[in-house]
Amino acid sequence: MSVKPLSDETLPGAKLDVIKMPGHWLLARLGKRVLRPGGLELTRLLLAALNIGPTDRVVEFAPGVGATAKLALMRNPASYTGIERDGAAAARIRNYLHGATQRCLVGQAEATGLEDGRATVVYGEAMLTMQTDFQKRRIIAEAYRILERDGRYGIHELALVGDDLTSELKAQIQKDLALVAHVGARPLTADEWREHLTAAGFTVLVVRFAPMRLLEPVRFVRDEGLAVSLRFVFRLARDRDARRRVLAMRRVFRQYRNNLSAIMLMAVK
């Protein structure tokens, strides 16, 4: 197995300093492609709940490096539109889109510029957790606006769980996560996620949980396969700054493992 250098200029955040860059782009630079808390397992449940088929006009918010886009496209939807704010990520996704019905736009999920009611399915993973409450509301409202009546909306995010969850503990978890991930990290309880969706007008039909094991070896290999996982480890071994950052992230995930969970919700308009 060859271990490529960490100099892929087409990767998002390629020019950023390892010490400061957002955690998800650091993981992508090291070769990780599944960047959401519940891994492929919860993504598969999300796609099953959304039941994407050949008549669907699908919009994905924040496809990142496109692992879920590939799975959604395998279901042959009538159209696919990604809305990704990172230009490098959007450009990579365009490499495997085909024809006029598949596109990835550089844009903001809270203001997509798409017509009212043009989508039958909208979904986004690991993109709401990093937003403020205000932005979460804007993005969910935008999903509602662009969906047709009865359209389906799916999210896969980070949830706070546990009977011991005081507001102090919640604030501490958010602070510690943001400190190691270098992006806002504002997970909500399952009830709060549900309330966000219902306040926007959605009816929640499905809620599922999966353990938050993003950086645990068993999940890692399950999500990425053995070759990518080994390459990730080799790359970490050769890069002290990257290693420190990844281990710091894993330490915080482990510290709060009883209070963090991945959550998937599917709702209809």
- Name the residues that contact ligand SAM, by CB under 6 A: 24, 34-36, 61-64, 67, 83-86, 89, 108-110, 125-127
Burial label, 217 (beta-carbon count in 10 A; 0-12, 13-18, 19+): exposed
Measured from the CB atom, the residue of 2 and 210 that comes closer to ligand SAM is 210
Q: How far is the CB of 91 from ligand SAM (least distance, A)?
A: 12
Q: Report the nearest approach of ligand SAM to the CB of residue 86 (Å).
A: 4
* Minimum distance from residue 191 beta carbon to ligand SAM (Å): 23
What letter does residue 89 receive in the DSSP assignment? Answer: H
Give the nearer residue to ligand SAM in terms of CB position, either 67 or 264: 67
For ligand SAM, give the closer residue by CB, 31 or 63: 63
Token pair for 76: 């042959």
Which residue has the CB atom at the shortest distance from ligand SAM? Answer: 64
Cα gap 133→229, rounded to integer Å:
34
Minimum CB separation of residue 168 from ligand SAM in Å reads 26
Output phi, psi for 230, to 5 deg: -65, -40
Instruction: Closer to ligand SAM by CB, 89 or 264: give it.
Output: 89
In whole angstroms, how close is the CB of 246 to ligand SAM at the nearest point? 14
Amino acid code (one letter) for 259: N
Element (H, E) at 193: helix 190-199
Q: Which helix (H) or strand (E) holds 209?
A: strand 203-211
CB 72 within 8 Å of CB 47: yes
Q: Which is closer to ligand SAM, CB of 65 or CB of 267?
A: 65
